[in-house]
Structure 1
Amino acid sequence: MTPADSQACSSLFWSKFLALLAVVFGAMTLVSGGSVLFGPAEAQVAAGDYMPVVLWFNFLAGFLYIGAGIGIWLQHNWALGLSAIIAAATGLVALAFGFQVFQGETYEMRTVGALALRISVWTAITLTLLRSRSQR
Structure 2
Amino acid sequence: MSSAVLFDFCGIIAREENFVPYIVWTNWLCGFLYLATAYGIYREKKWTLYCLVTALVLLVTATTVLIIHIKNGGLYEMKTLGAIAFRTALTALFTVLTPKFIKR
Q: Which TM bucket (shorter chain)? A: 0.7 to 0.9
4+ residue runs of structure 1 moved beyond 2 angstroms?
A: 133-136
Q: Which consecutive unaligned segments of at least 5 residues does structure 2 have?
A: none
Matches within 5 A, 1:74-89: 74-89=43-58
Q: Larger Cα Rg: Structure 1 or Structure 2? A: 1
Which residue of 10, 17, 30 maps to 1:40? 10
- Equivalent position of 1:104 in the other structure: 73
Q: Distance in 2 between matches of 1:51 and 1:134?
A: 36
TM-score by length of 1: 0.69
TM-score by length of 2: 0.88
**Pair 1:65-2:34 in alignment:** yes
- The structure with more helix, counted as a fraction of residues: 1
**What RMSD, in angstroms, separates the aligned Cα atoms of the two structures?**
1.9
Matches within 5 A, 1:1-136: 32-38=1-7, 39-41=9-11, 43-130=12-99, 132=100
Whether contact under 8 Å (2:52, 2:95) holds in the other structure is yes
Equivalent position amino acid for 1:96 in 2:
V
- Please state how far the C-alpha of 1:72 moved relative to its aligned partner: 1.1
Shift of the 129–107 alpha-carbon distance from structure 1 to 2, 3 Å rule, reads: same
The one-character-per-residue Cα deviations of 1:16-59 (angstroms, maximum 9, x if unpaired) are xxxxxxxxxxxxxxxx1111122122x11322101111111211
Q: Distance in 2 between matches of 1:87 and 1:57?
A: 10
Q: Which consecutive unaligned segments of at least 5 residues does structure 1 have?
A: 1-31
Shift of the 135–54 alpha-carbon distance from structure 1 to 2, 3 Å rule, reads: same
SS of 1:61's equivalent in the other structure is: helix
Equivalent position amino acid for 1:47 in 2:
E
How many residue pairs get matched? 103
- Please state how far the C-alpha of 1:133 moved relative to its aligned partner: 6.6
